[in-house]
Amino acid sequence: MARTEEDSKKPNQSFGKDNGRMKAVHDSGSERRLRSHTANGTLTENSQKGVKKLLRRINSRGSSRTKNQDNYLHRCVSIDMTESGAILNDEQVEDARVTWSDLDAERCGREAPADMSKDSRDEMDDSDWEDGSLPRLDLADNHPDDHCKGVTVEFSESPDSAKRKPVRRASAEDKELAELVHKVHLLCLLARGRLIDGACDDPLIQASLLSLLPTHLLMISGVSKLTANDLNPLVNWFHSNFHVRGLDSAEKSFRSGLAFALESRGGTPEEIAALSVALFRGLKLTTRFVSILDVASLKPDGQKCEFSIHDASTVRKGIFSTSTLMVAKPRQFTLSPGKSFRCNEKEIACDTSLRDSSKNKESYTTCTNTQSKDSPNTDCEAHDIPDSCLTNRSPGSKRKGDLELQMQLEMAISATAVGTHENNYESAVKNLRSNSSNASSSHKRIKRIQSVESSTSSQGISTAVGSKKLGSPLYWAEVYCSGENLTGKWVHVDAVNAIIDGEDKVEAATAACKTPLRYAVAFSGSGAKDVTRRYCMKWYKIASKRVNPIWWDAVLAPLRQLESGAAGDVVHLDKHHVDALNEHEKITASRKSDDPIKDASRDHVNMPTELGLEASKDNDRKTSAEFSVRNSFAATRTSLEDMELETRTLTEPLPTSQQAYKNHELYAMERWLTKYQILHPKGPVLGFCSGHPVYPRTCVQTLKTKQRWLREGLQVKANELPVKGLENLAKLKKLQVSEAEEYDEYDSKGIMQLYGKWQLEPICLPHAVNGIVPKNERGQVEVWSEKCLPPGTVHLRLQRVFSVAKRLEIDYAPAMVGFEFRNGRSIPVFDGIVVCAEYEDVILEAYAEEEEMREAEEKKRNESQALSRWYQLLSSVVTRQKLNHCYGDGLSSGTSKNVQTMGNKLNARVDGSLDDRQQLGFQLRDVPDSKLNGPLVAPTEDHEHVYLTEEQSSDEESMVRIKRCHCGFSVHVEEL
């Protein structure tokens, strides 16, 4: 109840303030609400009381709140403080705090804030609530400003209960949903990447870029053996001429946005990166557009607030557009690339607000003021930082993070100047040619401001600067440099941050910015290729955060082909290169067969191991790549790159954390094996981690009982001993109860005997002889798969087929296909029978016949049943009518019409034999003449139909009599 009350009072709290800026961005619905609530003073008062209550409760619970929730509230305060321009008095702030937290609770759905509401609900339902003591508190003393009447239940939670956090674990459904969202998001981002890639191919944009390029830089297209160094001047020129600014062109198409970015020499990080790609392509350099697909988490509660805030806010328009606006602003003008996907929605809201530049200014000033006056540096930043990233900082503290925040704030303010300036500048820029001259003058002004930026970003990919995801390098180019390495190399070129060949820095930079590097995809020729391996050095950390590789490979397969078509020019290798490649292969091969001890000593410490560990799923690709190199003396860029990425896959350094070995693709540690796993062979030792030997993952074998292997169509070879025995308490008990029972896989002590794959051979089931199906001890055949069928038998998955076999006296066995867990126990599920192959046709024929007969019988039965039911119905109606006629009050006239109508319907519907009709027809005949043949009266809503005998007409041929009412209503009665 409390919750409902709070909910009903939420909206007016923060809107009691006169805040023009807010109004400007509110949608009409919100405005309406705002006005109505403001007008309603009583409601406001009531709401304030309610909110105060909630606030006190929250505050009183302070310590018991989870960290996230605390942070969340904290952020809500920040949002509101900023929004209100720090002009609110304490009470207002307090009120608004709750408002925003509640509003956000609504917005965030079932995520963090939802937990909060869930808490409340849980507390209502929970027995703890009922058992809770009512502290004897003097309300007036504790809350002098509390005017509310009635009982307030205060929580006095023990520290223990405060410690225990209500944990809501994700259900299977949540997981499935999260995976679906992840997949859909991936597809969307892939599509987006292709779109950008297409825009980079735009000849007009390329030509425009080339026209801006100084002549000496044009020479680069003539370089035969391009190296990363050759790109330096070009990238520097680009970096100094094109800058990131926050204005998003969300309302325009990407292509026109790109053109605009080109004109104004500034745009989103995505646009700037795309422009760099277009420039490189214009210079005839083989170039890809690379993007980190910053996709929604694969896990249900991963990046909780990030999802809820960014996504949910955009779904639900209205009140949150205000908060969205506030959130977006600081980022809007940050100089480092932000997350375009998430920013976009925000920036749409921002765009609206930007139309009124004076209001913008006000908001920025507000932001600054807030910072200077109240000094919590988090004020502006907090909007941008999801809960997970927020820390509860005391005001006035000057730690490293705070300084960084301050620095960023300054950057934001500077950028604001650029932003507002550019609005004016934008109108001046009409065409590219004139732009170039204009730009130089305007550019100087911009440059002054951006010197700040250069100092941060040009030194490298900007650091986190205290804010999550700020400055994450999300887009860059890859230029194929034929002069690099032996065979050429795709070189990472981040023109936004002026970094060349910094592939090893990307992961660190994204980690610093808390953007998980899960998918780095290169786009070219409308295709795409996953190049995450190039940028990710710690694959084991992201492997679990990526979608099922089979699905991902299938999705990318057609795109890979397209990409390969665009970038897969044949690279002709000279003898020297081929020798080198062959040498590389030899080394790899020899290491494969190396003595394990040698390996162990070589990799004693955490060294990159270059063992040719077999990664089964990618093996085919690797083989094909190797094959193409060996045999054709010419390899495509694609296959060479595949090989490079494969090498990275197989040479991942040993993790230093023991836990990393738990599900590592390549390495395993004995301590993390499950009870059904074993190391076979137990070696080679690839290295040690905290004193524990590390083995290749390929040595990990799964063990199963004989029975289990049989299900897979495999049986244990003769004379093979179990490699492991497991005690199974349940089975042990069972064995004790029924000692007579014998299980193959259990020895006399009730130990489950397990075997490994290397001890198996294909199953050899007894043949069906003389039409007899070999069965198990239960007289069944377990059909887990086709492999489990005894030779010479077939599985007939037909209902009731066993009766046919039985009737024909053919030997059969019920086919057990699985189990169903019901009523606390496993129930075998049967589906059809297993018979000898020679009887298949006979049985099927007989079955078909039998089914036909059965269907005919069923039809007949149904029909007779229908008939008898109609008979019953009409009999009862007629009986009722008779009774009404004899004893009723004369109000039964309606029934007569119903009888007629039913009779008609019956005649119309029953197209059975004449006998049937006759059988049914009697009912109408049995109805007294006075009712059927005399004037019939049937009521309607405001009129009773009267059928006079003289107005009847009849058709002799069709035996249909038409009875008419004077109102025009007529009834067709079929004479029987």
Residue from 136, 169, 216, 576 binding DNA (CB under 7 A): 169
Residue from 28, 224, 431, 656 binding DNA (CB under 7 A): 656
Compute how many other C-beta atoms are within 10 angstroms of the C-beta atom of residue 944. 14
The span of 113-121, 150-158, 159-167, 216-224 binding DNA (CB under 7 A) equals: 159-167
Residue 912 beta carbon to DNA: minimum distance, rounded to whole angstroms: 24
Residue 746 beta carbon to DNA: minimum distance, rounded to whole angstroms: 10
822 binds DNA (CB under 7 A): yes
C-beta closer to DNA: residue 100 or 540: 540
Is residue 238 within 8 A of residue 495, CB to CB? The reply is yes
Compute how many other C-beta atoms are within 10 angstroms of the C-beta atom of residue 253. 11
Cis peptide before 684 (omega within 30 of 0): yes
868 binds DNA (CB under 7 A): no
Which two structure tokens, joined as six digits, stand for 57? Answer: 């409760």
C-beta closer to DNA: residue 821 or 887: 821
- Our CA angle for 498, 499, 501, nearest 5°, is 150
The span of 135-143, 515-523, 826-834, 962-970 binding DNA (CB under 7 A) equals: 826-834
Strand, helix or coil for residue 955: strand
- Our CA angle for 381, 385, 388, nearest 5°, is 145
The span of 260-268, 490-498, 816-824, 903-911 binding DNA (CB under 7 A) equals: 816-824
Residue from 659, 702, 862, 898 binding DNA (CB under 7 A): 659
Q: Where are the alpha helices (DSSP H) in 375-502?
A: 378-381, 400-428, 432-457
749 binds DNA (CB under 7 A): no
The 8-class DSSP code of residue 704 comes to: B
Q: What are phi and psi of 746, to 5 degrees?
A: -115, 135
Strand residues in 10-76 grouped as ranges (E): none
Residue from 689, 714, 833, 936 binding DNA (CB under 7 A): 689
The C-alpha atoms of residue 679 and residue 774 are separated, in whole angstroms, by 37
Residue 93, Ramachandran bin (φ over 0: left; ψ between -120 and 50: alpha; else beta): alpha
149 binds DNA (CB under 7 A): no
Span 506-565, contacts to DNA by CB under 7 A:
511, 544
675 binds DNA (CB under 7 A): yes
Summarize the chain as % helix, strand, coil (round to 5). 55, 15, 30
Span 718-747, contacts to DNA by CB under 7 A:
728-731
Residue 567: closest CA among 527, 530, 534: 527
- Our CA angle for 117, 123, 126, nearest 5°, is 135
Residue from 681, 819, 859, 883 binding DNA (CB under 7 A): 819
Which two structure tokens, joined as six digits, stand for 487? Answer: 């065979």
- DSSP β-ladder status, 781-782 and 812-822: parallel
C-beta closer to DNA: residue 569 or 850: 850
Residue 159 beta carbon to DNA: minimum distance, rounded to whole angstroms: 9
The 8-class DSSP code of residue 458 comes to: T
803 binds DNA (CB under 7 A): yes
Is residue 567 within 8 A of residue 480, CB to CB? The reply is yes
Residue from 3, 299, 648, 680 binding DNA (CB under 7 A): 299
Amino acid code (one letter) for 389: C
823 binds DNA (CB under 7 A): yes
No. of H helices and E strands in the chain?
39, 28
Residue from 825, 890, 911, 956 binding DNA (CB under 7 A): 825
Residue 394 beta carbon to DNA: minimum distance, rounded to whole angstroms: 10
The span of 46-54, 579-587, 777-785, 913-921 binding DNA (CB under 7 A) equals: 777-785
Q: Where are the alpha helices (DSSP H) in 132-242?
A: 139-142, 159-163, 172-200, 203-212, 215-218, 232-241
C-beta closer to DNA: residue 776 or 875: 776
C-beta closer to DNA: residue 507 or 530: 507
C-beta closer to DNA: residue 646 or 782: 782
The C-alpha atoms of residue 655 and residue 410 are separated, in whole angstroms, by 39
Span 380-409, contacts to DNA by CB under 7 A:
391, 399
Is residue 264 within 8 A of residue 517, CB to CB? The reply is no
Tell me the CA end-to-end span of the chain in Å, nearest whole number: 67
776 binds DNA (CB under 7 A): yes
Residue 616: closest CA among 550, 563, 712, 660: 550
The span of 567-575, 589-597, 819-827, 909-917 binding DNA (CB under 7 A) equals: 819-827
Residue from 90, 127, 133, 167 binding DNA (CB under 7 A): 167
619 binds DNA (CB under 7 A): no
The C-alpha atoms of residue 505 and residue 463 are separated, in whole angstroms, by 11
782 binds DNA (CB under 7 A): yes
Residue from 301, 351, 569, 850 binding DNA (CB under 7 A): 301
172 binds DNA (CB under 7 A): yes
Query: H or E segment at 89?
Result: none
Compute how many other C-beta atoms are within 10 angstroms of the C-beta atom of residue 668. 23
Is residue 657 within 8 A of residue 687, CB to CB? The reply is no
The span of 11-19, 404-412, 633-641, 650-658 binding DNA (CB under 7 A) equals: 650-658
C-beta closer to DNA: residue 547 or 660: 660
Cis peptide before 166 (omega within 30 of 0): no
Site string for DNA, 474-513 (x = CB under 7 A): -------------------------------------x--
Residue 538 beta carbon to DNA: minimum distance, rounded to whole angstroms: 9
C-beta closer to DNA: residue 39 or 827: 827
Under rule CB under 7 A, how many of the chain's residues touch DNA? Answer: 47
The span of 148-156, 249-257, 337-345, 671-679 binding DNA (CB under 7 A) equals: 671-679
828 binds DNA (CB under 7 A): yes
Amino acid code (one letter) for 427: S
Residue from 615, 660, 723, 962 binding DNA (CB under 7 A): 660
Q: What are phi and psi of 233, to 5 degrees?
A: -60, -35
Residue 300 beta carbon to DNA: minimum distance, rounded to whole angstroms: 7
63 binds DNA (CB under 7 A): no
- DSSP β-ladder status, 953-955 and 944-947: unpaired
Residue 555 beta carbon to DNA: minimum distance, rounded to whole angstroms: 22
Residue 182 beta carbon to DNA: minimum distance, rounded to whole angstroms: 14
Cα distances from 585 to residues 104, 211, 696, in angstroms, run 58, 46, 20
Site residues for DNA per CB under 7 A:
66-67, 163, 165, 167, 169-172, 175, 299, 301, 391, 399, 511, 544, 656-660, 663, 674-676, 689-690, 728-731, 776, 778, 780, 782, 803, 816, 818-819, 821-828
